[in-house]
Chain A
C-alpha cells in the first residue's frame, strides 16, 4: 500500500477522534482501524511506521503501535 495514502488516511481518522474526548482518542483511533481496515493495510502501516518511512500525528502513532498486537501476521 502507498505510504502516503495509508498515513494520510490514518491522520484523517486521528483528526476526528482528537476532537472528541482527547483522553480516549488513542483507543478510538485504534478501534476504528481494527473495525474498518483490512489486516494487510494495518500490517502495512505498522511496517511503514516501524521503518520510519511515514509521519503520523502523535496520537495516531500511539494507536498504530497498539494496533500491531491485534493484527494477524
Chain B
C-alpha cells in the first residue's frame, strides 16, 4: 500500500477533435487543440514549476513561476495560459528561466514562515516542492521587512484552519470556491501588498457563506488551509479508494491513512460521479466511526424494559435464530421479516433479502426506499420500463434547460448541485418547482428563470398543466413521439391534458401559481434545447407520488427529452445506496433486477441458485408490517442499518408496531431510536470497515473498500450469513466478491459486473454482454419496455386538508450539514451548523401567532405534536411551514400522518395540516419519550468474574 499521488496536469483537460503536435524540450507531444503548454508538458512527463495552477481550475497566470521559452516568440510566456500551436518549440529550462523563477520564488519566501519542520504540510507542500524545483538557495531580501507572518489563524471551522501567515495569495482557494463549488464565499480583499484571502465580508470562515465543501483546502498549495486532522495526526502514508456513505451522488474518495487511522478523506479526481469534488459530509463528517457511542458488543434482553446485557456473537445470533423459529412455529412462516438498508452495500442488501426468501421462506423484505423513492420504481417502470434515472451526471454539461422539482440539490446532493450551477453559469436555464425558495432560486451567478412556488400537494396538477401548454400550443416533439412512443397511449394522454380543466388558468386556484408563469416555464422547457428533469422526494412523498413521477416521464417524452446527453429524467436518490438496495430485490414484490415474484421463470433462476422454493406471493411493505404487528400476525423483524422509529411517518403508529413485536433485532452502529424497542442488538460496521459496492443515482456501481477492520469483529454481511446459518439455511460466502458473482449470475442487468471489472473503474448498469462497459445513458434507441407509455395523470387532491384547527401545511426535508435521521452526522462536528431542528415559518404567519424568531413553538397535527424553535423566514410562503427530521428529540414524524402514495404506500411526508402556537415547554410525547429513551439504553454492569 502506498499513498496515491494523482498527476496534476496544471490546467483542465480540453476536448477537441483537432490534435496539435509540438515539441517540448526536444520531445514531440500531441494534444488536443486548446491545451495549455503546461498540460502538454506534464503529459510528456516534464513538470514545469507552478504555484497558482492546478488542473481542477482554469488557468490564472498569477504566480509567474511556470514561464517558458518559445522559439520565435518574444518574452517568457506563462505555460498555464499559453495554448499549444502546431510546430511550436518550447523550452522549459534554461538559464534565463532559472533566474526568473528563483527571483519569483525569493519574493514568495521572503514573506513566508521558515518553519517547514514543524509545518503540517511538511512532506506535502507545493511551495516547498517548487522552491526545491527552482533551486532556491537564499533569499537576498532578508525576512525583517514588512510581512504577514504574524497574521492570526482562523480556527473557527471545526474541520480546517485558515492560517493567513502561510498564504501566498495564489487565489486557488478563491477560484475553487467559484469554479468548483459555485458558492463564491471567498475573495481576495485589498490590493498589492495588502491583498489577502477573505471569507464573506472578511469574517471567520464559520460565520461566512462558506459551506465547508473542502474545495479550497484541497486547492491550497501550502498549509494555509489545512485539515485539523492532518495538523493533529500528521501526513498520511497510504491511501485506499472508496465511496462516500452519505447521499446518492456516490462520491469517490481517497481514504488517506496512517496505519489503520483515517487522517483525511480526499475526493478522488478519477471518481466518475464527483470528479474530485466533495461536500462537508463526505469530506469531513466521518468521525462518527470512532464516536464513543458506537456499540461494539452484541447485546440481548428479554423485555424492552430490561437493561441490555452484553453477550458473545454466538449467543446473540443464536437468540435471533431461536426467537424467529419460535415465532414462525407459533404464528406461521409469514410472521417474520426484514428491512434492508440503503446505507449498507448492495451485497449486504442482496444477502438480507436472500435470508428472507430462503431461511425465512417468505417475501417480507422491504427497504427504506419504501419511504422515499418507491414511487420512482413504480412510475418509471410503467412509463419507461425500468426503475432508474436515465442519465449519468456528466450529461448535465449538455443541458440547456433544467427543471428541478421537489429537490433541493445544494442541500441534499451538493456535489451534483455544483455541477448544475456550473452549467447554469455557462448559460443554461433553470425552472424550479418547489413550495420553498430553495437556494438555487437565486444564488451567486445563478438565478432561476421561473420559480413555480406551488402549494404542497399539487405537483400532479402543476405537471399536467405544463403538459397542457405543450400540447395545446403545438410544442410536442412529434417525430420523437411517433417513433418512440405508444401512439394510442399518447393520443389518450394528449386528449386528457388538452381538456380546459387542465389548463394553467383552470388550475391556478389549485396550485397557487399564476398561469402566465406556468405557460412561460412550459414554453421554455419545450423550446429551450436539451431539457433535463431532476426530482427528489418532494415529488415522491405524496399521496400521488407515483402519478407525479409518471407525469414527469410524460413531459420528458412529449418534448423528446429522452435518449441522448443533456436530457432525461433523473431521480436524485436520498441515501448512498437507495438505487442499489432497490436493484437487489429488497422490495417484497420483486426479486433482484425488478422482476416480480409471481413470474415462474424468474423464481426458477433463484430456486436453482438457492435450492429452495420461493413464495410467489408478495410480502409485507414497511407500513403494512406495523399494521400486521398490531394485529398480531407479524412478530419478528430484523432491521439492518435503518432507524425506522425516527425516519418513518406517524411515530405513534410505528412505535405501536414495534412494541407489538416479540423479537425486534436491530443491526446498527449505535443504539438508535428503533433500538429502544429492540430485544437483540447486533453491532454494525461503518463503510470504512467493509468491502462491497454502493450504486448511486446514475446507476453507477462504485466499489467500497475496507480501510480498517470491523471494530465489532464482523462485517454486516457476515452477520447476516451467521443468522441464516443458525436458522438452518446454509450460506458459505468467503468474501463479498462472491456475493457479487452470484448477483451477476442471476441478474441480467448485472451480468458483466465483477470486482475485477470494478477495480478498473466504476460502471453503470445495465452492464452485460450487450453493454460490456455499462450504460451511461438509457433508452437510447428504444425504451426498455419497447414503446414509451404515456399515462393519464388525473389530479386527486390529498385528503390531508387544512381547516380551522390545522390551517398551515407542513413540509419536511433535510439540510446540508445533516443526513437523514442524523445518526451519523449528529455524532460529528457538523452539529455546529445545525444543532436542532427548526420550524421555518413566514413572518405573516409568525406575527399572527405572536411568534418571534427563536421562540419555542408547539407544532400540532391530527397525528401528534412536538415542540421546537421557530425560524421566521420568507423562504417559505405564507401558509406553509417547514422543518427537518434530523433530531430524535424533536421527532418531526410524531406530526406526520399515515397518508401515503396510492401505488406504493410511500408516506406523504410533504403534506401535513398543522397548527403552530407559542410554547413554554416540551410536549407530553417529548417528556415521555425522553424518559423511555434513557431507560431503554441502560446496559447492565457485567458482574465481577464474568
Contact = CB atoms under 8 A, between A and B. Distances in A.
Interface in A1-21: 1-2, 5, 9, 12-13, 15-16, 19-21
A51 to B, nearest CB: 16
Given A13-B903, A20-B791, A20-B792, A35 B596 contact: yes
A35 B903 contact: no
Nearest to A2: B627
B898 interface: yes
B794 A38 contact: no
A19 B499 CA distance: 14
Nearest to A19: B794
Contact of A16 (B547, B898, B905): B547
Contacts of B791: 20
A1 B902 contact: no
A41 interface: yes
Nearest to A16: B902
Interface string B328-360: 000000100000000000000000000000000
Given A5-B627, A12-B543, A36 B904 contact: yes
Contacts, number: 58
Interface residues of A, number: 21
Contacts of A37: 618
B796 interface: yes
Nearest to B546: A16
A40 B904 contact: no
Given A5-B898, A35-B618, A40-B334, A16 B794 contact: yes
B619 interface: yes
Interface residues of B, number: 29
Contact of B588 (A1, A16, A34, A38): A38
Given A16-B547, A16-B794, A1 B631 contact: yes
Interface in B866-904: 898, 900, 902-904
A13 B588 contact: no
B390 interface: no
A11 to B, nearest CB: 9
A5 to B, nearest CB: 7
Interface in B357-380: 364
B618 A38 contact: yes
A41 B902 contact: no
Contacts of B492: 21
A58 interface: no
A42 B521 CA distance: 44
A9 B617 CA distance: 19
Interface string B786-801: 0000011010100000
A72 interface: yes
Contact of A36 (B547, B589, B794, B898): B589
A2 B334 CA distance: 19
Contact of B617 (A2, A12, A72): A72
Contacts of A12: 543, 796, 902
A36 B334 contact: no
A41 B794 contact: no
A9 B905 CA distance: 8
Nearest to A1: B627
A36 B618 CA distance: 6
Interface in A47-70: none
B805 to A, nearest CB: 20
A19 B598 contact: no
B743 to A, nearest CB: 24
Given A1-B631, A15-B796, A20-B792, A38 B619 contact: yes
Contacts of A1: 624, 627-628, 631
Contacts of A2: 627
Interface in B612-646: 617-621, 624, 627-628, 631, 633
A32 B903 contact: yes
Contacts of A41: 620, 624
A40 B332 CA distance: 12
B903 to A, nearest CB: 7
A19 to B, nearest CB: 4
A12 B902 CA distance: 5
Interface string B699-718: 00000000000000000000
Given A13-B902, A16-B794, A35 B589 contact: yes
Contacts of A40: 334, 620, 628, 633
B619 to A, nearest CB: 6
A29 to B, nearest CB: 11
Contacts of A32: 903
Nearest to B794: A19
Given A13-B902, A20-B791, A38 B547 contact: no
Contacts of A16: 547, 794, 796, 902-903
Interface in B495-526: none
A38 B903 contact: no
A15 B546 CA distance: 13
Nearest to A39: B617
Contacts of B621: 36, 38
28 contacts: A2-B627, A5-B627, A5-B898, A9-B900, A9-B902, A9-B905, A12-B796, A13-B902, A13-B903, A15-B794, A15-B796, A16-B547, A16-B903, A19-B792, A32-B903, A35-B589, A36-B621, A36-B903, A37-B618, A38-B334, A38-B619, A38-B621, A38-B628, A39-B617, A40-B620, A40-B628, A40-B633, A41-B620
Interface of B: 334, 364, 492, 543, 547, 588-589, 596, 598, 617-621, 624, 627-628, 631, 633, 791-792, 794, 796, 898, 900, 902-905
The 6 closest A-B pairs by CB, nearest first: A19-B794, A12-B902, A38-B620, A39-B617, A1-B627, A15-B796
Interface of A: 1-2, 5, 9, 12-13, 15-16, 19-21, 32, 34-41, 72
Given A21-B492, A36-B904, 15 more contacts: A1-B627, A1-B628, A1-B631, A2-B627, A5-B898, A9-B900, A12-B796, A16-B794, A19-B792, A35-B598, A36-B589, A36-B903, A38-B588, A38-B620, A41-B624
